[in-house]
Structure 1
């Protein structure tokens, strides 16, 4: 089965020993996307703006792989505070309109002290 690494400057580069994602056959696997603006390197303030940027970063990686948010079949979402769940969902629902399967968990810490992270699996 063919495997291809995904790399785009429209999403933040990896900050560790990993890639932005992989295409394996008809599937796309993204690494977790934190809300770093790829152009400025900045993180916006607040859960709504951070959720928005994380969703945009996932979409950019999918686009680079020839996929779309509509093709997402599974996401895993990480929140620094489960108290942000409702506000996160409000933004998430605008992007993941096909309602993919999802896990959403609270974690102790996220890279760069961000409030959320999203990873996705999509079908091309």
Structure 2
């Protein structure tokens, strides 16, 4: 299986992802910045890292890693958070460039500053 980024931006996302030879697909529900004990960090960078860690937990449960990530949708509670997101995303995903959409939305729990859903293939 291969995932080929189409028009990578250099900002840890591409305009599209082409998947060839995949036999398994994983659709990850929105992952929130809450740990298993119900703790929610106060600051955005910590919430961002925790939400991605929760995505990674779901990937690992399916025998996958961020290398299998095809598409992510990030829901932000406030447009002002966009500026911090790119650098954080790159620190987490490194050279990986999945397709990406960012949506400004009302979030289910007002303490959450973001939610991340993902699609992966293997």
Q: TM-score, normalised by structure 1?
A: 0.74
Distance in 1, matches of 2:91 and 2:81, equals 16
Q: Which structure exhibits the higher relative contact order, with contacts defined as CA atoms closer than 8 Å and separated by 6 or more residues?
A: 2
Distance in 2, matches of 1:65 and 1:78, equals 23
Runs of 4+ in 1 over 3 A off after TM superposition: none
Retained in 2: the 8 A contact 1:47–1:88?
Answer: no
Unmatched segments (≥5 aa) in structure 2? 1-22
Unmatched segments (≥5 aa) in structure 1? 1-24
The corresponding residue for 2:55 is: 58
Distance in 1, matches of 2:73 and 2:59, equals 15
The corresponding residue for 2:78 is: 81
More strand by share: 2
**Which whole-Å deviations, capped at 9, do the CAs of 1:55-101 have from their partners, x for residues lacking one?**
00000000000111111010000000010012122222222231100
After superposition, the CA RMSD in angstroms is 1.3
